[in-house]
Structure 1
Amino acid sequence: MPMSALRFAAVAALLGVALAPAAAQAHRSWLAPSATVLSGAQPWVTVDGAVSNTLFYADHVPMRLDGVKAVGPDGAPVAIQNGATGKYRSTFDVQLASPGTYKIANVSEGAMASYKQGGETKRWRGAVGQLATALPKDATDVQVTYSSRRVETFVTAGAPNTTALKPEGKGLELEPITHPNDLVASEKARFRLLTDGKPAAGVEVEIVLGGVRYREKGPELKVTTGADGVFEVSWPEAGLWWLEATVQGADASGARKSSGYVATLEVLPD
């Protein structure tokens, strides 16, 4: 449906498709698990999700749970249970019924278009599948933006494995080379960024330590992926770290594409 220019700009910022990279914005999206490495028979993990000014402290708006999903150690979907959304955060549980590594992600995508009809500029937003029939036949000067965003974290029950870590080949994704639940301070970790399944070269990755509400600003790292999409991180200290990258581009039709990726990673003391 048509929207005012002001509302359209607000929606663009919310979806992470503004011209500035998402890392430059004050509000950060995150998923924070109650633990990342668990033992015992069929343990549970509780996950908080929010968009906040202070990392891992819910002080702005809750994360919507519509796109949250979990993948188990065998690659099969795992149920999201006891989901609830409050004023500042959402929360849900995942039971780790089988040993191995689980990937928990909030995946969203959408489309926006601006066009002219009868000399008037109009705007539309909605699901990608609705775009083809949403615009009027007499629309001119059509400009389309596709957006996708993936916010992830990883948890392991017992011995880790890698089945759930397999990329889906869509949007911006992280392919761990070092297992994401085997990160230790002072040890290097290696990851690969992929965009639509191919190495994302020359992409800046921002890595920020959370838990700084009661102290001075913590470490903030910036690294750039190589031609093979690989980047390395030397963790200066243990803690819960937030990683973000954004890729802007265009598809074969000239439509603009904006893909964002966020991960929460726990680094243990050496």
Structure 2
Amino acid sequence: MKFKIILLTFTILYSLQTNAHKRWFLPNEFSVSEKQWISIDASLSNNIFYADRPWTLDGIQVIHPNLRASTISNPQYGKRKNTFEVYLEDTGTTKVASISNIYFAQFEYSVQMNEVKRIRSFDYNELISQIPENAKNIKLSKSISRLETYLTLGAPSSAVFKATGSGLELLPITHPNDVYENEAAQFKFLVDGKPQKNIKVSLVWEGTRYRNDESEITFITNEQGIVTFTPDKPGAYLLEASYKGKSPDTDKFENLHMSYMATLEVLPQ
């Protein structure tokens, strides 16, 4: 099928998780000194870290300090949250990641050719197969999202932070398991493996249910893709970053949306 691809400006592009709901992982521990099981909640909610809707456990990757990959253990499926476990046995830092590629299409198709239809799929070929042969004004886009958290046994390590070169990624200068209150920390953000300026990065401290607002702190990456922040409270934080731009794969897409979310712990002095 031949069609003209034009810039997609979906207002629905990232409403697939419903409105303001945010995705998060929440481990029962971020750093430990002995080999043990870590339990992790996975949910979406308006009030971060207060479970509302379960986040899928499909395709979650566990990357160990020696870059050995494994799957999650003991998955439990609930109405408000899903839960799984990861066993830490190798000294260093383990990455837990949920990565999603979602494809969107918008096109005109009806007897009068004035009805706009929108569809989405996790599979590109499946999406294309749903577009009628005589559809017009076809608009395609792609969303790449990452949801991560980091667990450390013993001393922190950095092997799991090697960039894949795809999507929006975190390359920490300060290790995520080594962030302290009232101390400056630095994170670098990459888009398709390269430092990216002007990315909006936000941090929200736990306990939003008991505040009048989220008290979100926002930053913008500099020319080197770096943000510097000084958290003033210990506890769990949700970090979020997003990027919208042109896709290098212009034969298929013109618009690309990337998002990154991670849960990290700020330690007390």
What interval of TM-score do these two structures reach, taking the shorter chain for normalisation? 0.7 to 0.9
Distance 1:142 1:245 in 2: 29
Distance 2:92 2:152 in 1: 5
Report the counterpart of residue 13 of structure 1 in structure 2.
Answer: 15
Residues 19-47 of structure 1, C-alpha deviations (whole Å, 9 max, x = no match): xxxxxx5321110111011112x311100
Report the counterpart of residue 53 of structure 1 in structure 2.
Answer: 46
TM-score (normalised: structure 1): 0.87
Asked whether the equivalents of residues 211 and 240 of structure 1 are also in contact (C-alpha less than 8 Å), the reply is no
Distance 1:28 1:113 in 2: 24
SS of the residue 1:227 aligns to? coil
Asked whether the equivalents of residues 39 and 86 of structure 2 are also in contact (C-alpha less than 8 Å), the reply is yes
Residues 100-130 of structure 1, C-alpha deviations (whole Å, 9 max, x = no match): 1001111111101012235143333211343
SS of the residue 1:174 aligns to? strand
- Say whether 1:99 aligns with 2:91: yes
Asked whether the equivalents of residues 60 and 71 of structure 2 are also in contact (C-alpha less than 8 Å), the reply is no
Report the counterpart of residue 161 of structure 1 in structure 2.
Answer: 157
Report the counterpart of residue 244 of structure 1 in structure 2.
Answer: 240
* Code of the aligned partner of 1:121: V
Deviation at 1:67, TM superposition (A): 2.9
* Code of the aligned partner of 2:92: G
Distance 1:208 1:162 in 2: 24
Distance 2:255 2:100 in 1: 17
- Say whether 1:180 aligns with 2:182: no
TM-score (normalised: structure 2): 0.87
The size of the alignment, in residue pairs, is 253
SS of the residue 1:213 aligns to? helix
Deviation at 1:214, TM superposition (A): 4.0
* Code of the aligned partner of 2:151: V
Distance 2:54 2:218 in 1: 27
Distance 1:219 1:15, change over 3 A: closer
Deviation at 1:247, TM superposition (A): 0.8
Q: CA RMSD in A?
A: 2.1
- Say whether 1:29 aligns with 2:23: yes
Q: Report percent identity of matched pairs.
A: 36
Deviation at 1:218, TM superposition (A): 6.3
Distance 1:183 1:12, change over 3 A: closer
Report the counterpart of residue 22 of structure 1 in structure 2.
Answer: none
* Code of the aligned partner of 2:116: T
Deviates more, 1:131-140 or 1:105-114: 131-140
Deviation at 1:79, TM superposition (A): 2.5
Distance 1:162 1:13, change over 3 A: same
Contiguous gaps of at least 5 residues in structure 2: 1-9
Contiguous gaps of at least 5 residues in structure 1: 1-7, 17-24
Report the counterpart of residue 69 of structure 1 in structure 2.
Answer: 61
* Code of the aligned partner of 1:112: F
Distance 1:212 1:140, change over 3 A: closer
Report the counterpart of residue 122 of structure 1 in structure 2.
Answer: 117
* Code of the aligned partner of 2:15: A
Report the counterpart of residue 5 of structure 1 in structure 2.
Answer: none
* Code of the aligned partner of 1:264: T
SS of the residue 1:13 aligns to? coil
Distance 1:115 1:216 in 2: 41
Asked whether the equivalents of residues 32 and 48 of structure 1 are also in contact (C-alpha less than 8 Å), the reply is yes
Distance 1:15 1:170 in 2: 22
Report the counterpart of residue 142 of structure 2 in structure 1.
Answer: 146
